[in-house]
Amino acid sequence: MIRVLLVIAATLLLAACGWQLRGTPQYLALESLSLDGPSYELRRRLELALEESGVAVHGDSTRRLAITEERWDRRTVAVDAQGRAAEIELRYGFSWLLRDRNGEAETPRRRINLVRNFNFDAANATAASDEERATRQEMFEDATWQLLRQLDAASGRLIDADQLDSDALRNGADGAPPRPDSTPRAGDAT
């Protein structure tokens, strides 16, 4: 009984301090985003995850998420006694970067790479095919969450930089707050 109470107390304590499992970011600093280049499967997952995070996905956004060099590789890493494939390795990766409306890069190009192995039973091709399909789906899911976490960090820095730029414009070129009147003060250059 004491153990149960301790587990409940620890759970409540973690919840109270704001701790949560890793997953989709609760707040992405972007209001909207356009997607360029991902495969249908990655695009579908990204659109859903972004919208769940409060980011509108549409073609008129000021920022574009460019997915490039998306690639799948498959190779045999182990064989059985008859020389047939016994274990398969899947590799999936892509590069991404954020661009502004004019196509200028706002972030450096980053890369996401995933590797998974699964057992391959040549005697049961249907099960092996199902296993490969499930592994690919899992990799798409994992790549989506990795991209969202990286995008969250990058977008936060971009929004902070945008805020600094707009503050500097509001305050003048020298960064000093504007004066309410134009009366020269002592020490002003004439």
Task: Give the domains, in start order, of the chain with CATH numbers.
Answer: 25-70+95-110+125-167 (3.30.160.150)
Per-residue confidence (pLDDT) for residue 124, from 0 to 100: 87
Place of tokens 């980053």: 110
Q: Which two tokens stand for residue 44?
A: 């579908």
Chain mean pLDDT for the chain: 80
| Most confident residue range from 12-16, 110-114, 120-124, 179-183 | 110-114
Amino acid at 166: S
Indicate the Cα dihedral angle 129, 132, 137, 142, nearest 10°. 170
Place of tokens 């990058």: 154
Sort residue 54 into left (φ over 0), alpha (ψ -120 to 50) or beta.
left
Per-residue confidence (pLDDT) for residue 36, from 0 to 100: 92
pLDDT tens, position by position, 38-91:
899 999 999 999 999 889 999 889 899 999 999 999 999 999 988 889 999 999
Place of tokens 């592994």: 135
pLDDT tens, position by position, 148-173:
999 988 877 765 555 544 544 555 55
